[in-house]
Amino acid sequence: MSVAEQNAARSSDTARARHRLLDVRKLTKHYPITEGLLRREVARVRAVDDVTFHVDTGETLGLVGESGCGKTSTGRCLLRAIDPTSGEMVFDYGDGRVVDIAKLEGRALKDLRKDMQMVFQDPFSSLNPRWTLLDLVGEPLVAFRVAKGRELEDRVAELLRRVGLRPEYLRRYPHAFSGGERQRISIARALALNPRLVVADEPVSALDVSVRAQTLNLLEDLQQELGLTYIFISHDLSVVQHICDRVVVMYVGQVVEVADTSSLFFTPKHPYTEALLSAVPKPDPDLASSRIVLKGEVADPSNVPKGCAFHPRCPYAVDHCRQVEPKLETLGDGRQVRCHRAHELSLSGVE
């Protein structure tokens, strides 16, 4: 479908889509497990399974869950760093162009890079150690032939200043910088083309606690200055609470709960969210720990349990949960939850 056709198809609901930057529908990423020389498929890993959510302009959407729940795969699908198996990811450029990221190829896909960028988790692996800051931060500018020579240096110096690094560091190599500083370099690179959406994949989890706050504040400041939209992938709920407006909770490739941050933290609707919240450390030593320790391990995404994927670990599971897979239900005020017992349970959040 061409861009024009898509525009026509979506013109009916432009009013609704005005603030909607990205609409992810039924996004699925399966990895086949193969065996032998002929690559016979013996099983498939459901890394991302039927994920639906949306992102509005200017907000920070959190994507949380345990490791292996598919949050990183989701983030990478959004940027087409990996190709999704199926599903739609409708992106609104804000100038009348609306595209399905899943279908982009060649030139159009490259164009998307200008508006969507990524900040990686590992500040060591994400910067080529053989390149200077000028090359690293200037890479997108060179790739899109935006600037070169003297102008490139000025642009990169400005970007470095913006993320709190000295512009005279231009000729230095990443090995001269600490993890926190490297993450700033990575952020500067992501901002080089002035994107609208930045996918931050656990940007602070590899950093020392002392520099986490600095980096988070930097991200917030940049959001305000540049009107950025973030998808913030994290397993650390205290960080998510600090920075996110809305949160998508994932479990074994599926969305189990979507809510704005305060509702999610105070009145979780899914037992998995409740368990995650109970694990957030509380700064007051007098508070009795009411941590819910989940039984067993995270389900194997290549062998998802029948019924509700969470039922083997769920303290509230009933027979129905073991038989029938729950659907993602929409409750009032934009909340969504994937649980049969969402209406009857009264779960505890953080006080």
Partner 1 sequence: MLRRILGRGQPVAAGVPAATAEPTQPLETETEKHDYAVASEWELMWYKFKRHRLALICGVVVLLLYVVAAFVEFIAPYNPEAQNPAAAYQAPTRVHFVDAEGNFHLQPFVYGTTSQRNPDTFELEFVEDTSVIHPLQLFVRGDSYRMWGLFDANLHLFGVEDPNVRLYLLGADRQGRDMFSRIVHGTRISMSIGLVGVVMSFVIGIVVGGISGYFGGTVDLVVQRIIEFIRSMPTIPLWLGLAAALPADWSILQIYFAITVILSLIGWTGLAQVVRGRALALREEDFIMAARLSGTSRTRIIVRHMVPSFMSHIIAALTLAVPEMIIAETALSFLGLGLRYPAISWGVLLQEAQNLRSIALAPWLLAPGAMVVIAVLALNFFGDGLRDAADPYKR
Residues found near partner 1 in the complex (CB under 8 A): 37-39, 79, 81, 110, 113-114, 117-118, 120-122, 124-130, 132, 139-140, 142-144, 164-166, 169, 171-173, 175-178, 180-181, 184, 186, 189, 192-193
Residue pair 17/10 in contact by the 8 Å Cβ criterion: yes
Tell the smallest beta-carbon distance from residue 176 to partner 1 (Å): 3
Contact 269, 328 (CB under 8 A): no
C-beta of 49: minimal distance to partner 1 in Å?
23
Q: Where are the beta strands (DSSP E) in the chain?
A: 20-35, 40-56, 60-64, 86-92, 98-100, 116-119, 197-201, 229-234, 246-251, 254-260, 329-330, 336-337
Of the pair 173, 316, the CB lying nearest partner 1 is at 173
CA–CA dist 188, 207 (Å, integer)? 17
Nearer to partner 1, 97 or 322 (CB): 97
Report the residue number, 59 or 115, with the smaller CB distance to partner 1: 115
Residue among 86 and 178 whose Cβ is closer to partner 1: 178
Closest separation in Å from C-beta 136 to partner 1: 8
Q: Are 188 and 137 in contact (CB under 8 A)?
A: yes
Comparing CB distances to partner 1, the nearer of 186 and 254 is 186
C-alpha distances out from residue 208 to 179, 203, 274, Å: 8, 12, 27
The neighbouring-strand residues paired with 255 are: 250
Residue 24 beta carbon to partner 1: minimum distance, rounded to whole angstroms:
18
The backbone torsions φ and ψ at residue 110, rounded to the nearest 5 degrees and listed phi first, read -65, -40
Least separation in angstroms between CB 110 and partner 1: 5
CB of 122 to partner 1, least distance (A): 6
CA distances from 287 to 242, 275, 349 (A): 21, 17, 14
The answer to whether 34 touches 40, Cβ cutoff 8 Å, is: yes
113/322 with CB nearer partner 1 = 113
Please give the backbone phi and psi of residue 303, each rounded to the nearest 5 degrees, phi first: -150, 70
The two beta strands, 229-234 and 60-64, are: parallel
Min separation Cβ 12 and partner 1, Å: 33
Which residue lies nearer to partner 1 by CB, 63 or 314?
Answer: 63
